[in-house]
Structure 1
């Protein structure tokens, strides 16, 4: 379902008009926070070649790391669906939570209490200053989707998530689903 109003928990689906910005080409962003001061989100469909144990050797798990966005790419962030296990997490929406106590999270992963079906890690995030995202919306850079994605973004492959979301939107958007990533190759 397409929404006209931005709010945390919405998905931002990149329109093909974002040609040239490889950070956002065919990106789907989970909007983690949105207020009058700006917005923060995580690109959920751009896996990196790293696992969590590559970055933090004391964690014994092969959970993939995703490119969360171009801001603070040397910082690790995570979303999850287990607020009862991870203290101090913040609800985003639809049973998806952001952050929490990282020491507890490491221990829970190593004990097997947290699986890849519960958590997703990101290097960096996507951020917008006051009114910046609204201006990009007016420039037709993003489609706002408010759909039931809870069981689709943690523990699942989201490599083709952009195309899946475009197909789910249907209508005039369907033509984009089979367009080449680089329109000059068409």
Structure 2
């Protein structure tokens, strides 16, 4: 419900991405041993698949080797250890890196079918949406981008019967 997924890959074999706007109940230091010295870094619920994995999106291709560019200026992964060292040394703006537990995935043809059924609204991905200053507002800003009748949905209650 009101979930925004950043789709990173969409192929015939399957698709994957990360939920951008759902906070996870634990911080990074609570999930990964050896990070007790870090401040409380939020983790987002990337999706229900492989909830034993940590992923990250960032804007530091020159500092974090091994990342894969998803869209202009947004990179997935790379050296986790390097990212942590850069955070420890204060060399990373925490508004330009996000951590996720798990990911969202679809099998062959599954997402295409869901799109045909209009189960999802689509908006072009952008760096400002991925690294939104207020993740709880990403859904509203995505709808505003669609404009028209979709923009009106921003103010709808989750349960329209409560209106």
Normalised by the length of structure 1, the TM-score is 0.80
Identify unmatched segments of 5+ residues in structure 2.
none
The RMSD of aligned alpha carbons is: 1.6
Whether 1:109 and 2:87 are equivalent positions in the alignment is yes
Measure, in 2, the Cα distance between the counterparts of 1:72 and 1:138: 26
Aligned length: 161
1:145 pairs with 90, 109, 123, which one?
A: 123
Residue 139 of structure 1, CA deviation: 0.7
Measure, in 2, the Cα distance between the counterparts of 1:94 and 1:181: 33
SS of aligned partner of 2:5: strand
Measure, in 1, the Cα distance between the counterparts of 2:100 and 2:134: 14
Matches within 5 A, 1:39-118: 39-59=15-35, 60-118=38-96
Identify unmatched segments of 5+ residues in structure 1.
1-24
Measure, in 1, the Cα distance between the counterparts of 2:63 and 2:46: 23
Contact 2:18–2:100 (CA under 8 A) maintained in structure 1: yes
Deviations 1:26-69 (A, max 9, x none): 01111111112110000001112322122225331322100111
Matches within 5 A, 1:20-39: 25-39=1-15
1:181 pairs with 143, 158, 161, which one?
A: 158
Residue 87 of structure 1, CA deviation: 0.7
Normalised by the length of structure 2, the TM-score is 0.91
Structure with a larger share of its residues in helix = 2
Residue 141 of structure 1, CA deviation: 0.8
